[in-house]
Chain A
């Protein structure tokens, strides 16, 4: 581990930031008809960021910027996943907001939201982590409530904002408790000082930190915004908010797990309970939904639960963090693909309207099936590779019972997934089906190919994410 202060270590994040600035300027100074240029501009920024991050991943793990920025394998692959998911969402926007007066301003919001998640992934200081969380949250509220005339969208934004405000305060309390117990907010120092801190401080600290970040992950008990955002927010926002902040929150939790004294703080039981509650609540609630977007929202809650299984065994199994990263990568492409299909179908959301889609739009129907089966974990799709790695980590870490709970939930999740699949393939088409635009279809195709690619080439992600998680203890 070495410390350094090279600007190039932040180059990917700076590229995203530059993208946000440029697209904001374009949004301010061009007419509405021309604002679509922001989509390619945002994509360029994201591609540059991805390339730079891949380039950085080749180097050794370093704590950059005086120990503020962890440049390790988890940061690398996590950030790339954030960038790829954001890029896929960008492709959904031009069609969705074509007639929106503020079309251009949407892109800087997306890019800043992605930047917030990237900060969360790499932060090795609680203050910095909170900056990332707030950046991600503030942009998220705007993205959720984007359609000001739609009561659904405004309600989604409002709920997201209220739950988020509460959760962010809980997170702050956690940071304050950590500061009280450990005398600093720096992860590397905390890892040492917390070791002999008072358990009466550590237990509430662990609980508040977990709950605070659970908001970003869309996990119980601060999950209630997820189905509302999934159903009411503009579909590109729903795709973004159910994926990107989740990656940031869960990877930040995994990093914290290497810092807090796991046994004295009761960290593991807290995470395990949250994991079980999250996957079970999400799965059971999804069962009864007749609205595809809401169903995907609840499914997204349950997916956070599976990811938390990996978080729960961080420190006990070295396979946990790579498994978590792989799981999140698989989840990201599958969830964006599913919402991409919804977007490409112009937001078609009532389950009854999906009848016969396999006849009217076979390509989109196949994409939806692939996405849903991947979320269930059917091989050889990305979701299987992720769940397989997570289960292996859980068994390896001695928490097989968590894997058993995940298995039971997986079986139930198949039931609600088939509730979407069956009418598409078995029923007769109803009415005519219109498609949003070419770019949303392109995004769906790319995401679907990515589902297969991540599944088949899982080792690329897994070995890419294998390495010490900073701040590694001496």
Chain B
């Protein structure tokens, strides 16, 4: 079931890339959307089959040898955390493929790259083998490189190159850490479950080096300050749909990897470093929010809020892993919060970036100063943007609130000072989104936008699905939180 969720989009990508050349653009897009619905259905089925009450954290496991000489296997399976992230992945991809975009006459390649990216994203979230994880981690760079460079704006080629080089450095740093972890097992294995059970580097001098290598690798992807500099360039130049996937799904690879590798496999070392990691997270939260506040470019502003929002996730992880035993309740809450925040950020930022795409299609302008009073002219677009902005700033009743609340409650129990300083980030985010809403949608509208058209039915559908889910997670978080919390309790209790 899980393997099919990985393979179907990959096959779809191949079919669309080869056969799609002769199809018209709507047909290619329809085939693409249909293909993304298969993994969506499969992940829902996996969610139903998953037993949150079990004491087995990883379920629905497939384990086949790949390179047995080096202890590498094709191992996939899910826990509550992987289910949550995989579910949001499938939703964001369906919306991104369906959302209108300028395909420059290469619809088949465009859709094929999206399907390819969906396959590697799911592969990463479902993998239970470190090398398999790395394979998908690296492949995500290839897919995103082509999407940004081929369908991006003027300076896309350079931004894509920077993105690829920067994140490849990160992934290779991660690779060295992974190799050290695998070699520390006897016999050598990269099976995540075995390494989590063995905690092989406890008390070893290597542990700190491995933690640094892995955290730098994943920190670049997340991105955490000071490794975030590739992000604004990539987001500004990328087509909006690719930005939605990049922010909504690919950034989660970093924090998801942090849960899987340092948090679970290097418990002791992670606990020792928890305060440092927490401080970096708070710096990311504040820095991301402050820089975002200073941006006049709509897309750049949203891009920097990702640095801020991913900071909450890392802060939650730092709190959850702060000690090896004790304070289980607070730490489980923090880990649950971090995961829910990943889901929420995926939905909300996915929506925000798709909306910037809708705006760009109509105006070819990202400068917020050129807008104003759009609410009267394009109420649907404005309403969607305002709703997503409120969700992003953490308004109760919307998805962003649930995760952030849990993260901060959990963090207050272990790192109260960090939590207090981090809260300032929420204030800044509120300011920057309210100002965004005010500048673009309220006040006087410049005349040139008087012929602006509102959202088309397709856009209503794609944005609607994401926003409905955002509200649903905010209003009725139980389904999500219970599943995630089951995994989180098992992980912090061990």
| Interface set of A (CB-CB < 8 Å, partner B) | 319, 322, 373, 378-380, 384-385, 388-389, 391-392, 395-396, 400, 403-404, 407-408, 410-411, 414-415, 418, 422, 425-426, 458-459, 462-463, 466
Tell me, in angstroms, the Cα distance from A392 to B149 when the chains sit together.
Answer: 33
Q: Which residue of B lies closest to A403 (CB)?
A: B176
Write out the residue numbers on chain B whose beta carbons fall within 8 Å of the beta carbon of A463. Answer: 68-69
CB pair A388 B164 closer than 8 Å: no
Write out the residue numbers on chain A whose beta carbons fall within 8 Å of the beta carbon of B165. Answer: 411, 414-415
CB pair A410 B172 closer than 8 Å: yes
In the complex, per-residue mask of B152-186: 1 if CB is within 8 Å of any chain A CB, else 0? 00000100010011001100110110011011000
CB pair B67 A395 closer than 8 Å: no
CB pair B68 A459 closer than 8 Å: yes
CB pair B175 A458 closer than 8 Å: no
Tell me, in angstroms, the Cα distance from A396 to B181 when the chains sit together.
Answer: 11
Tell me, in angstroms, the Cα distance from A462 to B72 when the chains sit together.
Answer: 12
9 contacts between A and B (CB under 8 A): A319-B70, A384-B138, A395-B179, A400-B176, A407-B173, A407-B175, A418-B164, A459-B70, A462-B69
Write out the residue numbers on chain A whose beta carbons fall within 8 Å of the beta carbon of B69. Answer: 322, 459, 462-463, 466
Write out the residue numbers on chain A whose beta carbons fall within 8 Å of the beta carbon of B146. Answer: 425
Write out the residue numbers on chain A whose beta carbons fall within 8 Å of the beta carbon of B183. Answer: 392, 395-396
Tell me, in angstroms, the Cα distance from A407 to B146 when the chains sit together.
Answer: 22
Number of A-B contacts (CB under 8 A): 79
- B contacts with A, residue count (CB < 8 A): 30
* Chain A CB within 8 A of B131 CB: yes
Q: Would you list the 10 A-B pairs with minimal beta carbon distance, nearest first? A: A379-B135, A407-B172, A459-B67, A462-B69, A411-B169, A463-B69, A392-B179, A395-B179, A458-B67, A379-B138
Write out the residue numbers on chain B whose beta carbons fall within 8 Å of the beta carbon of A373. Answer: 142
Write out the residue numbers on chain B whose beta carbons fall within 8 Å of the beta carbon of A380. Answer: 135, 139
Q: Which residue of A lies closest to B145 (CB)?
A: A418
User: In angstroms, how far is the closest chain A Cβ from the Cβ of B414?
Assistant: 33
User: In angstroms, how far is the closest chain B Cβ from the Cβ of A424?
Assistant: 11
CB pair B142 A378 closer than 8 Å: yes
* Residue in A400, A404, A414, A459 whose beta carbon sits within 8 Å of that of B66 in the complex: A459
CB pair B176 A388 closer than 8 Å: no
CB pair A425 B176 closer than 8 Å: no
Tell me, in angstroms, the Cα distance from A408 to B179 when the chains sit together.
Answer: 16
CB pair B67 A385 closer than 8 Å: yes
CB pair B149 A425 closer than 8 Å: yes
Tell me, in angstroms, the Cα distance from A373 to B165 when the chains sit together.
Answer: 13
Write out the residue numbers on chain A whose beta carbons fall within 8 Å of the beta carbon of B176. Answer: 391, 395, 400, 403-404, 407
Write out the residue numbers on chain B whose beta carbons fall within 8 Å of the beta carbon of A391. Answer: 175-176, 179
Give the interface SS of chain B, mostly helix, strand, loop or mixed: helix
Tell me, in angstroms, the Cα distance from A322 to B150 when the chains sit together.
Answer: 39
* Chain A CB within 8 A of B134 CB: yes
Other A-B contacts than A418-B164, A425-B150, A459-B70, 6 sampled, CB-CB below 8 A, are: A378-B138, A400-B180, A407-B169, A422-B161, A459-B69, A462-B70
Tell me, in angstroms, the Cα distance from A418 to B169 when the chains sit together.
Answer: 15
Write out the residue numbers on chain A whose beta carbons fall within 8 Å of the beta carbon of B65. Answer: 459
CB pair A422 B149 closer than 8 Å: yes
Tell me, in angstroms, the Cα distance from A389 to B179 when the chains sit together.
Answer: 9
CB pair B138 A389 closer than 8 Å: no
CB pair B68 A415 closer than 8 Å: no
* Residue in B139, B168, B179, B182 whose beta carbon sits within 8 Å of that of A414 in the complex: B168
Q: Which residue of B lies closest to A458 (CB)?
A: B67
Tell me, in angstroms, the Cα distance from A396 to B187 when the chains sit together.
Answer: 13
Residue in A322, A385, A396, A407 whose Cβ sees the most chain B Cβ within 10 Å:
A407
CB pair A414 B68 closer than 8 Å: no
Tell me, in angstroms, the Cα distance from A389 to B135 when the chains sit together.
Answer: 14
CB pair B70 A388 closer than 8 Å: yes
Q: Which residue of B lies closest to A455 (CB)?
A: B135
User: Assuming A414-B165, A415-B165, is B70 touching A392 (CB within 8 A)?
Assistant: yes
Write out the residue numbers on chain A whose beta carbons fall within 8 Å of the beta carbon of B175. Answer: 388, 391, 407
Tell me, in angstroms, the Cα distance from A458 to B65 when the chains sit together.
Answer: 12
User: In angstroms, how far is the closest chain B Cβ from the Cβ of A18?
Assistant: 35
Tell me, in angstroms, the Cα distance from A388 to B227 when the chains sit together.
Answer: 25
User: In angstroms, how far is the closest chain B Cβ from the Cβ of A308?
Assistant: 18
User: In angstroms, how far is the closest chain A Cβ from the Cβ of B122?
Assistant: 16
Write out the residue numbers on chain B whose beta carbons fall within 8 Å of the beta carbon of A395. Answer: 176, 179-180, 183
Tell me, in angstroms, the Cα distance from A380 to B120 when the chains sit together.
Answer: 12
Tell me, in angstroms, the Cα distance from A400 to B182 when the chains sit together.
Answer: 14
CB pair A418 B68 closer than 8 Å: no
User: In angstroms, how far is the closest chain B Cβ from the Cβ of A101?
Assistant: 42
CB pair A414 B70 closer than 8 Å: no
Q: Which residue of B lies closest to A358 (CB)?
A: B109
Q: Which residue of A lies closest to B149 (CB)?
A: A426
User: In angstroms, how far is the closest chain A Cβ from the Cβ of B98?
Assistant: 25
Write out the residue numbers on chain B whose beta carbons fall within 8 Å of the beta carbon of A378. Answer: 138-139, 142
Tell me, in angstroms, the Cα distance from A379 to B127 when the chains sit together.
Answer: 15
CB pair B139 A422 closer than 8 Å: no
Residue in B69, B146, B180 whose Cβ sees the most chain A Cβ within 10 Å:
B69
Q: Which residue of B lies closest to A425 (CB)?
A: B150
Tell me, in angstroms, the Cα distance from A255 to B26 when the chains sit together.
Answer: 60
Tell me, in angstroms, the Cα distance from A379 to B161 when the chains sit together.
Answer: 18
Interface residues of B in 60-77 (CB under 8 A from A): 65-70
